[in-house]
Amino acid sequence: MKTALITGITGQDGSYMAEFLLNKGYQVYGLSRRTSTVTTERISHIIDKIKIVEGDLVDQHSLTHIIKDVKPQEVYNLAAQSFVPSSFSQPVLTGEITALGVIRMLEAVRIGYPKAKFYQASSSEMFGKAQEVPQSEKTPFYPRSPYGVAKLYGHWITVNYRESYNLFAVSGICFNHESPRRGTEFVTRKISQAVARIKLGKQKKLVLGNIDAKRDWGYALDYMEAMWLMLQQKKAQDFVIGTGETHSVKEFAKLAFEVVGINNWEDYIEVNRTHFRPAEVDLLIADNTKAKKILKWQPKTSFRKLIDIMVKSDLEREAKV
């Protein structure tokens, strides 16, 4: 039986990755930090099938011990302070977790079990003020937030440990991927939740920031396979993972309201500058040619289908509470 360690197991991707690996017959270990309230909502249905180990990306000692004890064949480093606005209000903490957390994990692997294959969750936010359209593995980086800068450190230190110590360490440069398990602070889930609440008469307005920003949005479930495939290759290398389509926040909102039969969607939206960022990423769109060719990976879920899944899930959830 293969063993995998997932950091960030309580998050959107960690929960889907745990399900994905359990379905493939893995023994799954999940790293989780101590909190005063329960954070296992997304994995409550599989909690008895996985082993939770306590650790924190800011604590080297816990990470090294976990890797030494568990000796995982595969490590998926999905933990991060992942919300871009919080990276502006807590830039140093974001650097500690999202940047230095990666080298702590890599050091734990190098010292504790160098045979482990390591996946780093890199981000399209590293392209930031995009130097090329669409963005591929060869596009120069230009991050626009402390989060993007921290991810860039994580990305390059992964490349560096691969080249310096011959670790099987790869980076998946994932574009935005969403789901009903997305945190409600991210724009897609904020919209799907608000649309459900408005339809049910529980909310009047949806207050957004820059609705002209464009993103390459995919369905999170589709991205788990790509991450796993990267660790099944003979050669350790980095890949861009995205759909190759881009849409604005405005388009997302319009289609989300359409799912519940509201066509005068603009009447419900208010734009407020408090949601604007000090520096914005205007346009992201993936060139996924390399992933298609080498991993034989491609997204399965369309933009419309993703919105439909998210809105319907929130309608069901909101009808219950």
CB 156, CB 277: distance < 8 Å: no
Residue 39 or residue 160: which is nearer to ligand NAP going by CB?
A: 39
Binding mask 67-86 for ligand F7E (x = CB under 6 A): ---------------x-x--
Tell me how far, at minimum, the Cβ of 271 lies from ligand F7E, in Å. 8
Residue 208's binding partner among ligand NAP, ligand F7E, none (Cβ under 5 to 8 angstroms by kind) is ligand F7E
With contacts defined by CB under 6 A, name the span among 73-81, 136-144, 273-281, 290-298 that binds ligand NAP: 73-81
With contacts defined by CB under 6 A, name the span among 105-113, 123-131, 164-172, 222-230 that binds ligand F7E: 123-131
Q: Whole-angstrom Cα distance, residue 26 to residue 28?
A: 6
Q: Whole-angstrom Cα distance, residue 160 to residue 166?
A: 9
Number of other CB atoms surrounding residue 276 within 10 Å: 14
Residue 249's binding partner among ligand NAP, ligand F7E, none (Cβ under 5 to 8 angstroms by kind) is ligand F7E
Q: Whole-angstrom Cα distance, residue 74 to residue 50?
A: 15
Binding mask 85-124 for ligand NAP (x = CB under 6 A): ------------x-----------------------x-x-
Residue 110 or residue 190: which is nearer to ligand F7E going by CB?
A: 190
- Restricting to residues 157-196, name those near ligand F7E by CB under 6 A: 175-176, 185-188, 190
Q: Whole-angstrom Cα distance, residue 179 to residue 172?
A: 19
Burial class (CB in 10 A: 0-12, 13-18, 19+), 124: buried
Residue 62 or residue 199: which is nearer to ligand NAP going by CB?
A: 62
- Among 156, 161, 145, 171, smallest CA distance to 77 is for 171
Residue 177 or residue 254: which is nearer to ligand NAP going by CB?
A: 177
Output DSSP code: residue 175: P
Residues marked active site are found at 123, 125, 147
Task: Please pick, from the candidates 21, 66, 67, 79, the single residue that binds ligand NAP as defined by CB under 6 A.
Answer: 79
CB 287, CB 246: distance < 8 Å: no
Number of residues binding to ligand NAP, judged by CB under 6 A: 25
190 makes contact with ligand NAP (CB under 6 A)? no
Distances (CA, A) of 270 to 261, 265, 279: 19, 11, 21
Dihedral sign computed on CA atoms, order 81, 316, 176, 9: positive
Positions in the binding site for ligand F7E (CB under 6 A): 82, 84, 123-125, 175-176, 185-188, 190, 208-211, 213, 215, 249, 275, 277, 280-281
